[in-house]
A and B are shown apart, each in its own frame.
Chain A
Amino acid sequence: MGSPIRILTAVPICDGHDSAINTINLEFIRHGIEVVYLGYHRSVGDIVRAAVQEDVRAIGISSYNGGHVEFFAEVVDLLRKKSAADIKVFGGGGGTITHEDAATMRRKGVDEIFFAGTSLEDMVKFAHQRYGKPRGKRARAKTSDIELARMLTEIEDGYAKIKGKTSKTRPAMSKSSTRVIGFTGPGGAGKTTLIDELVLRFLNKDRQSRVAILSHDPSVIGEGALLGDRATMINSQNDRVFMRSMATRGQAGGLSPATQDCLALLADSDFDYVIIETVGTGQEAMPFRKNGIVDQTVLVMNPDYGSRLQLQKIVMLDLADIVVVNKSDLQRARTAHTEIGQRLEQNRRAQRLVDTVAKRHRDSGVDKLFGLISASDKSKRGKERKKS
């Protein structure tokens, strides 16, 4: 089975018209396309950076607020400048883009502009016909980000070819200077927001460090997926952050068949922190293997987990190094803190419990979590892992 087409979609800077793109995203997904959705009000730099890192086949831009001739041209130009001209650009914008504009835009390197009244079917057909064929031989990667992005694609596509294949085990070793942190927890607990807030703190801590994020969204084999974590991130749109969104492509448990290998590659690359985020998981999930390359695991909980009994069933409560009760401004947060605290005590391990309100700017809980993550002794943990 071939790999799904990966397309990045976005709405330009100073434009919040996301109604059309939301509909188109859903239609693409229904027809087997993996859509990395970057959201609205996104700059040329943000779009091109994301497209390069995600190694998508094409960028679809939905523009309603004018300035499209310049904006599309800048995207094409920046892709060229970044030696990523094999990523194509298409888009539309209802009535705001005239036929004359469209002609200019095509001349400047845009593949296709859809006008008002184009059916969703036609757009899907276009995407399949134009971007569905396997890529030919690609020119040598000129930057390390491109090289890394392509290697990730190769790993992912390798698994797609062999249905049901699970991760071959690469040497589970990260560079001693790289910390790998795994985030998991039920959907809607606020993992993405929390990670984005932590990224802000990583970036501010020192001016050189780089962070990689490997983020997951669910999908069924051979079908599309909405990879939407980037759309709600604000601090991670940064040249010092390398983010890759992966669909689980049919694997249960919160990760993709290719995750282990992709993670190993990232951990072995030049990052100070590698963050891995699972899909929203169920009670039985244990996404990170014991003695794997994840240095530290964080379970992010919502205060609304149901009764105290439910806590006994959550396997990750035994395994996580840090448990976060996010949204701790909710009424139930106190109860949650007490109950989860007692649950962790049974384990008699040095697990930490942190309350956060990730949506809040400069939240002291997130500061505390950041302290726990960034301060723990990497080299010692690394040795422990190798011994075991």
Chain B
Amino acid sequence: MSKLGQVVESVEKYNQFVLEEVKRARSDQKFGRDLLGRWNDIKAKIPITRAPTGLPLPRLALPEIDEPGEIARFLFGEGLPGEFPFLNGAYREMYLEPIREVESFEKNGEVKKSKTDKKIPQAEEPTRLFSGLMLAEDTNERFHFLTAHQRTHRLSTAFDGPTLYGIDSDADGVFGKIGEGGVAIDTVEDMVRLYDGFDLGSAIFSASMTISGPAPIIMAMYIAAAKRRFGSSVVPKLRGTIQADIFKEVQAQNETIFPIEPSLRFLTDMVEFTTREMPRWYPISISGYHIGEAGSTPVQQAAYTLSNGFAYAEMFAARGIPVDQFGPRLSFFLDCGLDVEYIALARVSRRIWAIGMREVFGAGPKAQLYKLHTQTSGRSLIAAEFKNNLTRTAAELMLAYMNATNSCHSNSADEPFTTPSEEWIRLAAHGQAILLEESGIFKHTMNMLSGSPGMKAVERAVEAAILEEFREIERLGGVLAAVEDRYQRSQIQNASHRYEQQINDGTRPIIALNKYRNGSDEDMPEVKLARTPRKKQQLQVDRLAKFKKKNAEKSKRALDKLAAVVETGKNCFPELLDAVEVCSLGQITGRLQEVVGRFRPMV
């Protein structure tokens, strides 16, 4: 049985355990009394907050239960926010606004007030916007613009197509795609330019890089660039995330450059290095977003993301990396659309992850957390009467927060027909602020919308369906075997096709597209896109030529050394770190492909 099979068993066993605890709480009087006592304690310690209108509310809402069996069901089955199995949240307070005065009910019923000594962080406008355009210096300028008035500098980097596929800007047939949809990075020199002016080792800086196929090479370039600017001592201080999710690339997004097994080996090499040398870095973002956007059902998205995560954990553990070293460095990324499953998709995911990590991998509390970034669904947005997309995104944001996501990205309404413009980006970001900061829905009370009978019903159905997906993957021989068998891929494609058919035959209403259509969809503004001028593209090609010429001799030696280590099967990340000093992305990719082969596309 693979670890995934064990995860299924552990969840079933845990559910059984909860039922038994419920029974025991009812039959074993002492246990029941203890639980009741603990429950009353918890309730007594909940601080009181006041809405702007003066209405007093508890900072944490709990179900109105006083029967030991039900208390056991809640505490063991769901857990308080921040407590195992984390159904209600990975952390205790999440979106709660800081309070200046703590009020609490003392045992005698009087309200006691005391000053909090906690520092009160001010919320910042949500601006971790995915950016990347043209050449490194253009993106750098954009980064500075975005963070000009921010106390924290959190940059999210998009790369252009050639970079995502690990090829150079001078490769055959890519002219026209240089700097399109993201920034063009060929060499460590580009990487230096990209984050110029930012203090990479500072606690207020973090970089996110959305790239998977060539992630280890790009990671090495980032480290090399940081070292060039700040010396070797900066390495342990680097903060950020690199996506590096190979499974979802093969399952959905198609940006894989090496065959699966060597891809996973290079990934593990990188993870082994970063979790040891860069304890603040997230070396993988296990992503369901692209699975969802490729057309999967919500359950497929959650199931494949979780099972991919468990497969990575199995791989890293097999390499000998301690689970409490890599576990806290894993993070997740989900899509949030309008289907009913999204009411509880992330809640259930968080619970399954925690149980699996604790029971199957022996993970400690920090390595049990399913830390989640959510993005609203791009696929749910449509061009016809596109302003409706504001409503769609707002509803999706609401669902994401009901799931207690740790962070969120909201899409711009104009996305279906253009690269988002300033105006609509701003509206999308403000949607988050309106829900979290302006409205009282999430800022006063944790669990404000948790635990409704409907949500419970969705949780049960979604968990059962996810476990059934796990069983099927297990029957196919585990995640890797199922991936090679194209199982997830074909399931996603079928779901996508069904979705399109449902839109076509009207069984899936899309307002203003197949229902309540006004006939004219010409309210689209004329858009002007920021394209990379030919002159800039040529500049990138010329720079690369200069770099290659300058390093002609050294690069050959570095590549030979890299290839030799790859052949031995040893961790090749240190050699990658050397190679990026003198080799371009494409040179390294090409040489590695000679040794391990190229990815064979799946259809």
Task: Note all chain B residues with C-beta closer than 8 A to A37.
Answer: 603
Given contacts A19-B294, A234-B601, contact A361 B174 (CB under 8 A): no
B396 CB–A CB distance under 8 Å: no
Given contacts A66-B177, A117-B382, contact A19 B417 (CB under 8 A): no
Quote the shortest CB–CB distance from A352 to chain B (angstroms).
25
B504 CB–A CB distance under 8 Å: yes
In the bound complex, do residue A40 and residue B415 qualify as a contact, i.e. CB atoms below 8 Å apart? no
Quote the shortest CB–CB distance from A250 to chain B (angstroms).
24
The SS class assigned to the B binding surface is: loop
B538 CB–A CB distance under 8 Å: no
B186 CB–A CB distance under 8 Å: no
B527 CB–A CB distance under 8 Å: yes
Task: Note all chain A residues with C-beta closer than 8 A to B173.
Answer: 13, 43-45, 71, 74
B602 CB–A CB distance under 8 Å: yes
A165 CB–B CB distance under 8 Å: no
Quote the shortest CB–CB distance from A383 to chain B (angstroms).
38
A66 CA to B184 CA, complexed, in Å: 13
Quote the shortest CB–CB distance from B249 to chain A (angstroms).
8
10 contacts between A and B (CB under 8 A): A13-B165, A15-B161, A16-B254, A22-B497, A45-B173, A65-B177, A98-B527, A116-B416, A361-B596, A361-B597
A19 CA to B492 CA, complexed, in Å: 10
Contact of A228 among B294, B600, B603 (CB under 8 A): B603
In the bound complex, do residue B255 and residue A16 qualify as a contact, i.e. CB atoms below 8 Å apart? yes
Taking A98-B417, A115-B383 as known contacts, 8 extra A-B pairs with beta carbons closer than 8 A to each other, sorted by chain A number, are A17-B254, A19-B496, A26-B497, A71-B173, A116-B382, A117-B521, A360-B597, A362-B597
B513 CB–A CB distance under 8 Å: yes
A354 CB–B CB distance under 8 Å: no
A23 CB–B CB distance under 8 Å: yes
Contact bitstring A172-208, B, C-beta under 8 A = 1, else 0: 0000000000000000000001001000000000000
B598 CB–A CB distance under 8 Å: yes
Quote the shortest CB–CB distance from B521 to chain A (angstroms).
7
Given contacts A19-B294, A117-B383, A232-B602, contact A14 B484 (CB under 8 A): no
A95 CA to B389 CA, complexed, in Å: 14
B500 CB–A CB distance under 8 Å: yes
A141 CB–B CB distance under 8 Å: no
In the bound complex, do residue A67 and residue B177 qualify as a contact, i.e. CB atoms below 8 Å apart? yes
Task: Note all chain A residues with C-beta closer than 8 A to B160.
Answer: 14
Task: Note all chain B residues with C-beta closer than 8 A to A17.
Answer: 254
Residues of B508-560 at the interface with A, using a CB-CB cut-off of 8 Å, are 513, 521, 526-527, 529, 531
Task: Note all chain A residues with C-beta closer than 8 A to B531.
Answer: 66
A365 CB–B CB distance under 8 Å: no
Task: Note all chain B residues with C-beta closer than 8 A to A116.
Answer: 382-383, 416-417
Task: Note all chain B residues with C-beta closer than 8 A to A362.
Answer: 597
B47 CB–A CB distance under 8 Å: no
A115 CA to B384 CA, complexed, in Å: 11
In the bound complex, do residue B600 and residue A234 qualify as a contact, i.e. CB atoms below 8 Å apart? yes
Task: Note all chain B residues with C-beta closer than 8 A to A74.
Answer: 173, 176
The CB with the most chain A CB atoms within 10 A, among B295, B598, B602, B603, is that of: B603
Contact bitstring B139-177, A, C-beta under 8 A = 1, else 0: 000000000000000000000111011010000111111
Residue in B closest to A101 when the chains form the complex, CB atoms: B529
Contact of B161 among A14, A98, A99, A361 (CB under 8 A): A14
Contact bitstring A79-109, B, C-beta under 8 A = 1, else 0: 0000000000000001110110000000000
Given contacts A40-B601, A361-B259, A361-B597, contact A98 B418 (CB under 8 A): yes
Closest 6 CB pairs of A and B: A361-B597, A16-B254, A14-B161, A70-B176, A66-B180, A95-B417
Quote the shortest CB–CB distance from A228 to chain B (angstroms).
5
A147 CB–B CB distance under 8 Å: no
A151 CB–B CB distance under 8 Å: no
Quote the shortest CB–CB distance from B131 to chain A (angstroms).
15
Task: Note all chain A residues with C-beta closer than 8 A to B598.
Answer: 234
Quote the shortest CB–CB distance from B423 to chain A (angstroms).
16
Contact bitstring A10-54, B, C-beta under 8 A = 1, else 0: 001111111100110010000000000101110111000000000
Given contacts A13-B161, A65-B180, A359-B259, contact A193 B600 (CB under 8 A): yes
A372 CB–B CB distance under 8 Å: no
B493 CB–A CB distance under 8 Å: yes
Task: Note all chain A residues with C-beta closer than 8 A to B58.
Answer: none
A26 CA to B496 CA, complexed, in Å: 12
Contact bitstring A229-246, B, C-beta under 8 A = 1, else 0: 001111000000000000
Quote the shortest CB–CB distance from A336 to chain B (angstroms).
16
Given contacts A23-B496, A95-B416, A117-B513, contact A65 B603 (CB under 8 A): no
A155 CB–B CB distance under 8 Å: no
Task: Note all chain A residues with C-beta closer than 8 A to B174.
Answer: 13-14, 67
Quote the shortest CB–CB distance from A15 to chain B (angstroms).
6
Residue in A closest to B175 when the chains form the complex, CB atoms: A70
